[in-house]
Amino acid sequence: MLRVRLAVGCRMPRKRMSMRKIREVLRLLWGQQRSAREVAKACGLARSSVGEYERRARGAGLSWPLPELDDAALEALLFPPPPKLAAIERPAPDWHALDKELRSRKGVTRMLLWQEYRAANPAGFGYSKFCLDLQKWRGLQGLSMRQTHLAGEKVFVDYAGATLPVVDAGTGEIRDAQVFVAA
């Protein structure tokens, strides 16, 4: 038996209802004075859809009886195109300098670099876009270092960063320990 599961939030948007059906919803609501629940049941819609069509019609300044409009004109009134947002000029950071700072200074994080960037550019990118663009920039750099060697021939050791506190079980003394990684 084949089972199909839909992930939550992965639904495809529904196609818009025909104008004939929307006219019928408005006729039942306003012309027949029916409740949203009755209209939803009669038209095979969700109550929220009936409320949404009524909200859009009131927002468009419509009332019953509807004016003599063809379907295209009614659709344009009920579903106007979204307003166009003005393009905001967002200055791009100096990715090379940010990458160098991220690698060289201890304790520097992307969040800290982004906060400094936003302090200098209040209309700048949001944090997620900043991180995504930094990652894309790093991917375009094409940096690689290939080292070929036989297994067991060489050992690679690197300093792992900050020290870690180590507690002596006998005395309770806390000492800082350097951490190294070897491969």
Q: What's the gap between Cα 162 and its chain centre?
A: 34
At 124 the pLDDT is 85
Task: Give the C-alpha separation, 40 to 46, whole Å.
Answer: 6
Q: For the whole prediction, is pTM greater than 0.85? A: no
At 1 the pLDDT is 46
Place of tokens 């195109």: 81
Task: Give the C-alpha separation, 67 to 58, whole Å.
Answer: 13
At 152 the pLDDT is 82
- Structure tokens of 80? 């106007």
At 8 the pLDDT is 52
Low-confidence ranges of the chain (pLDDT < 50): 1-2, 4, 6
Where is 164: in which H helix or E strand?
strand 164-167
